[in-house]
Structure 1
Amino acid sequence: MNTDPRLDRLDDLLAREATQGLTSDETVELDALLEAYPDEDPDALERAASAVHLAFVDTPDPLPAHLAERLQLAATVLTPAAPARVKSTRSRSRSAWGTWAGWAVAACLVGVLVYTQWPKDVSVVQGPEEERLKRDRLAKDATAQAAKFAGEQAGATGEVVWSTAKQEGYLEVRGLPPLDSTKEQYQLWIVDGGRAKKEPVDGGVFDVKPDGTVLVRVRNPILVKDAKAFAVTKETAGGVVVSDGPMLLVLTPKQG
């Protein structure tokens, strides 16, 4: 069965309407195609674009490179110079490419929305000795220019080794009381002097072992430009976007 180029044109016009708007001639053409194909949902891509817009309100931080690359790829796929045509197995003529393109963009948009709204977990090391070796290598790597941060408060101590150049770091704490992880978790925060916003960057949530110790890798969801300090708070399970405190540990640059 031959594919229908009018359906591909309909997909293209719907995508343009959702992302950049249409000319008056294109609007007339879109209305005619929607009348010819009443089963098409004219608002699907626009709803997805609106969801992403809402997700980024008051959130000017750049996306991680891998997500930005996926979005750019999906946008490119929507308007190729000569898309490959394949036979459809559906009851009416439509290219598989046309169907996939719209859903590819929608999937990427949903992925961005989930990414920006969901707290990131800090990875508790599975092999402490192996992770210590990684931390020590980072500290000794001249290209990493790693800095050390340390602090002590109410019997608890902590130390962070952090490299802005590699966007990699490790937190080790001692003396924090174990929590019921189904109700509460500790959360790491990064004070970034390079951000216009004063709120610290989420560094992930973590649990301590029964003896009150843990070694975890920092999981910053966005680029940290200039780490000035680190802090640990106790939050509800899964973490929060903005903490009300109090800060259980404050780790500042360690001299020497």
Structure 2
Amino acid sequence: MSLKHDRLDELLALEATQGLAPADAAELDALLAQFPDEDPDGLELAAAAIHLSLIGPREPLPADLAERLELTAVAMPSVPVRLAKPRPSRAWVAWSGWAVAASLACVLAFALWPKKEPTLAELRDRLRPQAVAFAAADKPGLSGEVLWSTAKQEGYLELKGLPPLDPSKEQYQLWIVDPTKKQPVDGGVFDVRPDGTALVRVRAPIRVGEANAFAVTKEVAGGVVVSDGPHLLVLKPKSG
């Protein structure tokens, strides 16, 4: 690397961090004319980004947002900026670099800020208009309802009155009764809260053609492929 190029780098660094006297600014313009491929604003933009990261008290970003911001920044292509001649004043270049960096940070933060996930109750209520409701026959202190959509192959089971189990040993398991299948379809295992209630999402491992009932059994932890246990609860389509 030539001495002139070293001097150019030195002046660019001074411009980005301290500013230049008129004589140094004139020398920098002359050297930039000799090295037209040199990016005149790279160091200023880097200094602006560093400045933005250090100013003022900061609230820590959530870990997942910080990781996604970092990955997005790495993935963005580097586009060299070439200014038309004559170059703008040093003050304008520094200000515009800071503005670009600040705008980019705001856009990324807005786009990547985690959105609130809907609750199971909200998802169930969204499905309700296009779902079929199944309910259990009346039993003292025990009730249940399933909302099931064949089109979406998705449903929600709500129960009240089941005693809690030790999930390391036993779990409840839901079964989907489809007359086109030889065996009931596994609807998944679930646990109940200490108060005996549960709201769980139902997704079948294979497509259900026609659900005409649901059943709940008590099985070993992790569930079984075929149940031999008695049905604690049978839920059939609601009438009306």
In the superposition, the TM-score normalised over structure 1's length comes to 0.46
Structure number with the bigger relative contact order (C-alpha 8 A, sep ≥ 6) is 1
In the superposition, the TM-score normalised over structure 2's length comes to 0.49
